[in-house]
Each structure stands twice: as C-alpha cells, then as structure tokens.
Amino acid sequence: MTSVPGSPAEGRGGRTPNGVRPPAPLCAAPNPSYEPAAFVVPAGACDSHAHVVSGEPRHPLVEGRSYTPPPAPEADYLRMLEGTGMSRGVLVQISVYGTDNRYLLEVLARHPEKLRGVAVVDPSVDDETLLEMHRAGVRGLRINVLFGGGVGWQVMETLAARIAGLGWHLQLLMDVRELPGLLPRISALPVPVVVDHLGHLPASGGPDSQGFRALLSLLTDHDAWVKLSGAYRLDAGAPDYPDARALAEAVLEAAPDRVVYGSDWPHVAVPHGMPDTGRLRNLLASWAPDEDLLRRVLVDNPARLYDFPPLA
C-alpha cells in the first residue's frame, strides 16, 4: 500500500525520548533536465504550484521544519518554467520559511505579469501587510497541517474572514481522509478553497475511498478547486502513477473548470524517487486527452483563479 509522507502525526516532527528534536532530513535537488513536451503546450500555460528557496543566510529556515531543502532560487525556477513550456507560474510559500514570506514577495515583485503567489501568515497580520501582498501578486493563503512550519485548522475561519474582501482563496495542504469531519467548517467559509496534491491521500484507495469522495463532494457541491500536482506523493508507480491517474480523471470529470496543474517543483521531501518535471507535465496529455480540457486546466482556470492579466 502506498504511504503518504508528512501525515499529521509524522509531518510535524516530534522529539526524541530525550527531548531533543531530530535534525530535519536533507532533500535531494531536482533534476536539471526535463522530458520534452508530448503535446503542444498552449500560450499562457501556468504551472500553478512550485516553490523557491533562496539558499541565502538572509532567508533563514525555521527550526521546526520537517525537512531541509536544497537551494531552489528564482533563476532556477524561471529556467524550469521555460524548460517545461510554461508562460506563467504560481509560487506557494514553502513550509520551511514559516510565515516569513520575504523571498516569495521579492520574486513576485520582479515578475508582476508572469507570477502570482500563495502566502502563509499569522492571523495577527495587519491589513496593510495583506494589501502589500496583494499588490505584489499574492492571491491566496495556505493552511498546512502536514509539514512543520505552517499554520493549521485553528486559524482557518479567522484567515478566511480577513481575506474575503481581497478576493483571495484558502489553499489546503491536507490528507483528505480527514475531510469528512471538516466538511461543515470548510463549506461554510466565505472564500473559495483549493486542495493541494489531489488530496494527498494514498492513491491506491481509488476514487471511491471515503476521503476522496468527500473531496469530490467539496468540488461539486461547494465550488472548491483542486490541484493536479504531487502525483508522486500519492503513488509509488513511477513514472506514470496509474493510481493517481484515476484520481485525476475523477476530479476532471467532476469539476473541469476548477482544476489547475502544478509541477510541485523542486519536489522537496520526495517519498519515491525524484520525478522528471517534464514527465509530470506530459501526464496531463493522458489525464486530459481533450485539447479543450487541457487548455482549461493550463490556461483558463489558473487565469481566473489567480487573477492573471489577459493574454496579449
């Protein structure tokens, strides 16, 4: 059975019996080359989920992190976008920076037409800071209950109320096996929700598993969104991840206008071997073989969700 790394019990990282926190494990670097595109990537295509890590001392990592990533700086990220044919990108605040969004905001500010962001904040954040983030390109906040360094369920309603007037969304990094008990709270939020990584549950359970059926209910009954990302986190069957494909096809059928694609570069805390970012993009051609559907997932849906300017 496929395991899911970073479960609530595992991901927060406890202490050893003597009270000392174990060192956060080092991650491998992503592959620098990419499988060539197996389809014509449309103009305006967006990679809606990736991270940047400066690697510089002025951007320190939080002590309570679950892993230690290698540097994945702005220049490498932009090369990845170009190498995989993506015109646009969405950067998600990586958990190892906690609520220190400085590097994320620095990168966004340099590419206002090309990039958008999802930040992580404490509920005490002031309104002017949120407005400054909006001007920099942030369009959502992330709730993270899987890896150390994030903010969790206890602040969800507070944050949703703070961002409703900005037109932002909440992005949920969770294992949707928890979702049935959370549906009443999530469905009552005054903002859209976006679920990471196809729900981050073992794909071997298939689309009829209880947690995934709850995700489909959230999509169909409450206008939620989902990211086609992190297949390698759900399924050990590299390189095509057949169990994850069944989940992808199910969400595409349920809500084709509320699904976006993300590479999850630089693939931190990889459980089953470093994936090829180009290969992950190419899987879309089998998950969404219709050209119109591909365009919705890569261009139209992210343009609407992340408030990108019209294509020239």
Cβ atoms of residues 157 and 186 within 8 Å: no
**Residue 239, preceding peptide bond in cis (omega within 30° of 0):** yes
Cβ atoms of residues 143 and 171 within 8 Å: yes
**Which one of 76, 175, 235, 264 is the catalytic residue?**
264
Active site residue 264: yes
3-class secondary structure for the chain? CCCCCCCHHHHCCCCCCCCCCCCCCECCCCCCCCCCCCCCCCCCCEEEEECCECCCCCCCCCCCCCCECCCECHHHHHHHHHHCCCCEEEEECCHHHCCCCHHHHHHHHHCCCCEEEEECCCCCCCHHHHHHHHHHCEEEEEEECCCCCCCCHHHHHHHHHHHHHHCCEEEEECCHHHHHHHHHHHHCCCCCEEECHHHCCCHHHCCCCHHHHHHHHHHHHHCCEEEECCHHHHCCCCCCCHHHHHHHHHHHHHCCCCEEECCCECCCCCCCCCCCHHHHHHCHHHHCCCHHHHHHHHHHHHHHHCCCCCCC
Active site residues: 264
